[in-house]
């Protein structure tokens, strides 16, 4: 991996802070130096680290790649230190760790709200809200809310999830807090939830998600890069961030697909996790810098 930034002393202080001074964690998050959501070029590169809380620890062929919290935090520290990286997406435990380590000044914080539908659980479609709430994010100074919206027409648990998401969108809009919805049309196949990444299914998911809540004024949408993205982007006027995922495709192919999609109207940037934090060859700096150059070509020299 790229050279570590965090030391054993940093982690010792973090553990002691959690044990002896837990109130300092919230204070550090709320008092961090903040920035506008969008900078001069109107684009965002957000590093995602909300996977562990839903029990998704695998990357590629390694089933426990994200299980080592010290290693994950160090990879996040490396990524956040690179030019062109605007912020991080995480559940409260990740965000608290990063705030306690002093890594969130001038960074956008995206708070993950729902992780109740755990990976491979019989109740996976019951994706109730177990992470951040809108009031908690407002108190902590979180810049952007994020929620997964999996829509399974064959599973009744989708209905309460949609209702809870509509309530979250309504609360966020009333508080003028932007909220990022990540919609998928999903189904059970051989006992597992599989997201339909066909163009028509993604368009349908966008249409459903965009209509949730009392107001869409603060709604953003997070979308996979799929075939015929022009049609997908034509389905909404909301700001769009592209997601990365762990497709297993060669990095050059992945970067090329991001480059093409970033050129489409309405796309405001990338939200990527495992592809940048655990890249083939384990060179976090090179992977992050390449993504940053795609999102912010006027800021970061192109390496791709």
pLDDT digit string (tens) for 271-285?
A: 999 999 999 889 999
pLDDT tier, 118 (very low <50, low <70, confident <90, very high otherwise): confident
| Residue whose structure tokens are 């809380």 | 53
pLDDT tier, 304 (very low <50, low <70, confident <90, very high otherwise): very low
pLDDT tier, 119 (very low <50, low <70, confident <90, very high otherwise): confident
Longest Cα pair distance anywhere in the chain, in angstroms? Answer: 53
Task: Give the phi and the psi of residue 5 in degrees, each rounded to 5.
Answer: -105, -40
Separation in Å, CA 261 to CA 55, 164, 233: 29, 31, 9
Q: Is the pLDDT of residue 115 over 90?
A: no
**Overall average pLDDT of the 144-172 stretch:** 96
Q: What proportion of the chain, given as a percentage, has pLDDT over 70?
A: 96
3-state secondary structure of 271: strand
What does the CA dihedral 261, 267, 273, 278 come to, rounded to 10 degrees?
30
Q: Which residues are CB-neighbours of 87 under 8 A, at least 6 positions away? A: 44, 46, 47, 80, 107, 108, 109, 110, 143
Model confidence pLDDT, tens digit, residues 196-254: 999 999 999 999 999 999 999 999 999 999 999 999 999 999 999 999 866 567 888 99
Separation in Å, CA 121 to CA 53, 64, 175, 219: 13, 17, 33, 29
3-state secondary structure of 273: coil
pLDDT, position 292: 96
Domains of the chain, by residue range, sit at 8-295
Q: Is the pLDDT of residue 256 over 60?
A: yes
CATH number for region 8-295: 3.20.20.70
Which one, of 186, 270, 269, 175, lies nearest residue 213 by Cα? 175
The answer to whether 201 and 166 have CB atoms below 8 angstroms apart is no
234 burial type by CB count under 10 A (0-12 exposed, 13-18 middle, 19+ buried): middle
Terminal Cα-to-Cα distance of the chain (whole angstroms): 20
pLDDT, position 110: 98
What's the whole-number average pLDDT of the chain?
A: 93
Q: What proportion of the chain, given as a percentage, has pLDDT over 90?
A: 82
pLDDT tier, 302 (very low <50, low <70, confident <90, very high otherwise): low
Q: Is the pLDDT of residue 2 over 80?
A: no
Give CA–CA dist 298/42, Å, rounded. 12
**Overall average pLDDT of the 88-102 stretch:** 97
């Amino acid at each position: 991996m790229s050279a570590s930034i965090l030391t054993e002393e940093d982690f010792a202080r973090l553990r002691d802070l959690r044990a002896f001074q837990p109130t300092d964690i919230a204070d550090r998050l709320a008092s961090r130096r903040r920035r506008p959501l969008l900078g001069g070029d109107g684009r965002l590169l957000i590093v995602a680290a909300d996977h562990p809380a839903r029990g998704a620890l695998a990357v590629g062929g390694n089933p426990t790649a994200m299980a080592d919290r010290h290693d994950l935090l160090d990879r996040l520290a490396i990524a956040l230190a690179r030019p062109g990286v605007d912020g991080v997406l995480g559940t409260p435990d990740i965000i608290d760790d990063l705030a306690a380590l002093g890594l969130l000044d001038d960074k956008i914080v995206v708070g993950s709200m729902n992780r109740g539908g755990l990976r491979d659980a019989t109740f996976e479609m019951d994706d109730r809200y177990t992470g951040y709430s809108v009031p908690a994010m407002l108190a902590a100074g979180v810049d952007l809310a994020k929620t997964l919206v999996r829509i399974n027409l064959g599973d009744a648990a989708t209905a309460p999830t949609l209702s809870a998401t509509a309530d979250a969108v309504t609360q966020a809009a009333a508080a003028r807090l932007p909220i990022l919805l990540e919609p998928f049309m999903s189904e059970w196949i051989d006992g597992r939830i599989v997201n339909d990444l066909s163009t028509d299914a993604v368009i349908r998911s966008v249409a459903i998600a965009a209509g949730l809540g009392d107001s869409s004024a603060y709604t953003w949408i997070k979308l996979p890069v799929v075939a015929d993205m022009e049609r997908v982007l034509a389905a909404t006027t909301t700001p769009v961030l592209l997601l990365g995922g762990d497709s297993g495709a060669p990095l050059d192919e992945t970067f090329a697909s991001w480059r093409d999609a970033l050129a489409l109207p309405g796309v405001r940037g990338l939200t990527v996790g495992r592809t940048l934090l655990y890249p083939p060859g384990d060179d976090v700096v090179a992977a992050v810098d390449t993504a940053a150059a795609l999102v912010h070509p006027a800021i970061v020299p192109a390496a791709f």
